Amino acid sequence: MLRWASRWIAAIGFVATGACAQPAAPAEPSDAMTRALQRASDAVVGVLVQAVDDARSASTLGLARQGSGVVISDDGLVLTIGYLILEAEQVQIVTDDARIVPARVIAYDLASGFGLVRALVPLKLDPAPMGQAMQVATDDLLMVASGGAGGAISAARLLSRRGFSGYWEYHIDGALFTSPPRRDHSGAGLFNQRGELVGIGSLFVTDALGRDAPRTAGNMFVPIDLLAPILPELMARGSSQQSHRAWLGVNCIDQGNVVKVVRISEDSPADVAGLEAGDTIVRIDGVPVQTLEALWKTLWKTPPAERAVVIDILRDGQPQTVTVQAVDRAKTLRRPRGV
């Protein structure tokens, strides 16, 4: 696949103005920029995953998954988005020249959302240099690169940087929101103009400009800044200490200062305790919550992970109190036989 920086610069030039994107004249890249971006895109690979047959995540993610990852070390360590390798039985890395290389899972981190795999044979690819997401300015021109046989590059701009709360008991600070959107975002690399990795692709979103701004389609990237503080833990233990925290098994949304339960995971602590879709969560452990961020941070604030969590709800307008025996999410994940 041809991946020259000149094609990247010319592909999409735009500046965000409210909910619209206006064309902008592309700039001619310097030789140094061309080399840096070429090296960055060459470090992006495809990631193919087959999950274990009884994976709990199969209902939402399927058993066969594909996305991208970025080579970050000379010994074949690849950084990807964690949900791709969740409950993985088999992992393969696909290079631009169509080599299929077996790999093994090194880490899956619930707190950050990162996943790490290592190639079992040499990839012979130079790693991408690390950048700093916090140094990316709003409206900066960036490169998004996916890998594997169908990999592609495109230009994007940073529209906003803010905390992100997922309905599936997930929150990170400093998430990067870019546009235009890519559908092949899972594990894709986000690079600055120096070819430095600043984010790993996670989601397609419709609020890239912010919740109170006009609806704008885009992607959410996990900032690379979250990796350095936890990388030693990931390499040594397969997850960060922050990942070992209370889990309920609820999917929630927040609207108009109200937190609503929209789905309960089967056989989860919330399911056993009797929480139901449609319940409104008013308080958790006595603390009022009106947003997902407040809900998840309050849930995780008190150790240990395996404990009783008291939740005050409204069901059909009537107040009720439910006690949920939370568990450590990492202990519920299926693993390959023999592991």
The DSSP code sequence of 67-101 is EEEEE-STT-EEEEEGGGGTTEEEEEEE-TT--EE
Select from 69, 37, 67, 45 the least CA-distant residue to 154.
37
pLDDT mean over 129-153: 94
pLDDT above 70 covers a percentage of the chain that reads: 90
Last residue of one domain, picked from the residues 243, 272, 297: 243
Query: Sorting pLDDT into bands at 50, 70 and 90, what band is 292?
Result: very high
Q: Are residues 45 and 89 in the same domain?
A: yes
Residue 59 pLDDT > 90: no
Domain presence at residue 17: yes
Rounded mean pLDDT of 320-331?
A: 94
Q: How far apart are CA 58 and CA 63, in angstroms?
A: 5
- Distance between CA 245 and CA 302 in Å, rounded? 9
pLDDT band at 336 (very low <50, low <70, confident <90, very high): low
pLDDT of residue 55: 86
Tell whether 235 and 299 lie within a shared domain: no
CATH number of the structural domain spanning residue 178 = 2.40.10.120
| 148, pLDDT greater than 70 | yes
For the segment 78-82, the average pLDDT, to the nearest whole number, is 98
Same domain, 135 and 283: no
Residues 197 and 119 in one domain: yes
Longest dimension (CA), the chain: 67
Least confident of 81-95, 114-128, 138-152, 274-288: 138-152
Q: Exposed (0-12), middle (13-18) or buried (19+): which is 239, by Cβ within 10 Å?
A: buried
Domain count, the chain: 2
Mean pLDDT of the chain: 90
Please give the residue that has the higher pLDDT: either 332 or 337. Answer: 332
pLDDT for 12:
41
Q: Measured on CA atoms in the order 123, 129, 133, 137, is the torsion positive or negative?
A: negative
* Lookup: tokens for 40: 């960055």
193: phi then psi, degrees, rounded to nearest 5: -70, -10
| pLDDT class of 56 with cuts at 50, 70, 90 | confident
Give 34 or 186, the one with higher predicted confidence: 186
Helix (H, G, I), strand (E, B) or coil at 281: strand
Residue 39 near residue 131, CB atoms below 8 Å: no
Same domain, 193 and 232: yes
d(CA 125, CA 39): 9
Mean pLDDT of 323-334: 90
More confident position, 199 or 339: 199
Residue 335 lies in a domain: no
147 and 93 both lie in a single domain: yes
Mean pLDDT of 79-88: 96
Last residue of a domain, one of 228, 243, 258: 243
The total number of residues shown for the chain amounts to: 339
Q: What is the pLDDT of residue 8?
A: 54
- For residue range 3-40, what is the model confidence (pLDDT) as tens digits? 444 455 555 443 333 334 444 444 566 788 888 889 99
* Stretch among 10-19, 109-118, 273-282, 295-304 having the lowest mean pLDDT: 10-19
Residue 266 in any domain: the answer is: yes
One domain, residues 266 and 144: no
The answer to whether residues 146 and 188 touch, using CB atoms and an 8 Å cutoff, is yes
Do 143 and 41 belong to one domain?
Answer: yes
Q: What share of the chain is helix, strand, coil (3-state, %, to 5)?
A: 20, 40, 40
Neighbouring residues of 16: CB distance < 8 A, sequence distance ≥ 6: 139, 157, 159, 179, 209, 216
Span 192-226, pLDDT tens digits: 999 999 999 999 999 999 988 999 999 999 999 99
Do 188 and 219 belong together in one domain?
yes
Question: Of 222, 243, 264, which one is at a domain's C-terminal end?
Answer: 243
Task: Say if residue 173 is in the same domain as residue 306.
Answer: no
Encoding tokens for residue 70?
């970025």
Categorize the per-residue pLDDT at 339 as very low, low, confident or very high, splitting at 50, 70 and 90. very low
- Asked if residue 57 is part of any domain, the answer here is yes
Q: What is the mean pLDDT of residues 254-258?
A: 92
Residue 196 to residue 193: CA distance in whole angstroms: 7
Do 296 and 193 fall into the same domain?
no
Out of 140-144, 149-153, 171-175, 263-267, least confident range: 149-153
Give the pLDDT of residue 29: 64
Same domain (yes/no): 63, 202: yes
Q: What integer pLDDT is reported at residue 81 of this predicted model?
A: 98
Domain range holding 259?
245-328
pTM for the model: 0.91
- Could you tell me if residue 88 is left (phi over 0), alpha (psi between -120 and 50 degrees) or otherwise beta? beta
